[in-house]
Amino acid sequence: MTSTTLHIDYVATSDPKRHTPAKGHRLAVISYGGAEPDICDGLSIRVPLAIAAGTDYAEVWSSSTPIERYRIGRLDIAATGDAALVSLIVPNTGTDLEQAGHDAYAELLDYLQRQNYSHLIRTWNYFPAINARHLGEERYQRFCVGRYRAFSERFHDFLPLLPAATAIGSHDGDITLFVLASKTPGMHIENPRQVSAYAYPRQYGRVSPSFARATVKSWGEELHLYVSGTASIVGHESRHIGDVQAQLSEIGTNLDALANTCRAHSLRIPTTPALRGMDFIKVYIRDPAHADEIRGVIENHYQRSAPTLYLIGDVCREELLVEVEGMWRVSTRD
């Protein structure tokens, strides 16, 4: 058990409390849309996705132990005890995403191994035109190939090491990656309703995406369950093409199945629908015209009142209209 307690809050960008860390030291402030990043003792990261609806929140990450902040090459790092948050920005200058993904993850993984933060816990990947085609493949597929190459060059058997992850397309901005890593491992969890992403058939690209459906990690006094970007996929197939409400309902079913799997691992997950019960969620919406409809379903049908970020972003498959990621603060059963 690490002595560092890691804490995450969603705080409205208009709320001055975002400047006050909950656990003593601000590890990072992650902002969205046009919000200006905060200046803090940790990292200030701006994700180039517009707010679709609702409150504009910033993610405030704080630590119970002091933070070491530094830069190595292209990497911005905030490290504290067992945790390291590392960000990397690649200028969007038409770079082939296979090479960009490879070089970025090679740099990230080499740093993390050198510093003994060798266990990836959660990754986020945002880049423009995720569904556009280049050299006969979608840019997302090419990114997956590059990331896969970086892992396979460094690990003989890396599939058990893959963490929860998100990959979303922005409409502008640079390639923005950030990862949470640790000196001690988390536990990666799969969803029985879905084929593991790393086992998708070849119709989805030369290599499969490299992530787990969820990762659970103990941080001192808190136990976090990070849920990957979850879409309307059953098995490996997209469902409910063109029907945003049906896709959102399928996402809810997938999240409930994941929660049940986590309970089987002796994690205390609330019995409410997962879409209602998670501490935080981000909802990525392809078409801004669907934003109010999606927000209405989440707030009315699921009766969700906890902090929710609604963002305009392209899901990794063109036919998918919405994706949800999130986090629970959980505990183990007695």
pLDDT digits (tens, 9 = 90+) for 285-316: 999 999 999 999 999 999 999 999 999 999 99
Rounded average pLDDT over 248-258: 98
- The tokens describing 153, both together, are 């060059």
Distance set, CA 316 to CA 42, 158, 238, 320 (Å): 30, 22, 11, 8
What domains are defined for the chain? 6-332 (3.30.1330.40)
pLDDT confidence band for 24 (50 / 70 / 90): confident
CB 314 within 8 A of CB 287: no
For the stretch 86-129, pLDDT in tens is 999 998 877 789 999 999 999 999 999 999 999 999 999 999 99
pLDDT of residue 95: 77
Tell me if residue 305 falls in helix, strand or coil.
coil
Return the DSSP state at 91: -
Nearest to 80 by CA among 2, 179, 197: 2
* DSSP β-bridge partners for residue 11: 58
DSSP element (H, E) containing 83? strand 83-90
Asked if pLDDT for residue 22 goes beyond 80, the answer is: no
CB 49 within 8 A of CB 313: yes
pLDDT confidence band for 1 (50 / 70 / 90): very low
Tell me if residue 155 falls in helix, strand or coil.
coil
Tell me if residue 14 falls in helix, strand or coil.
coil
Q: List, in order, residues 6 or more apart from 263 with CB less than 8 Å away.
A: 269
* DSSP β-bridge partners for residue 46: 31
Nearest to 191 by CA among 248, 138, 259: 259
Asked if pLDDT for residue 219 goes beyond 60, the answer is: yes
pLDDT of residue 39: 61
Which residues are catalytically annotated?
323
Nearest 10 degrees: CA dihedral of 43, 46, 51, 57?
10
- The tokens describing 301, both together, are 């049908």
CA distance from start to end of the chain: 17
CB 108 within 8 A of CB 121: no
pLDDT of residue 334: 47
Claim: this prediction has a pTM higher than 0.75: yes
Which amino acid, 262?
Answer: C
Rounded average pLDDT over 209-222: 95
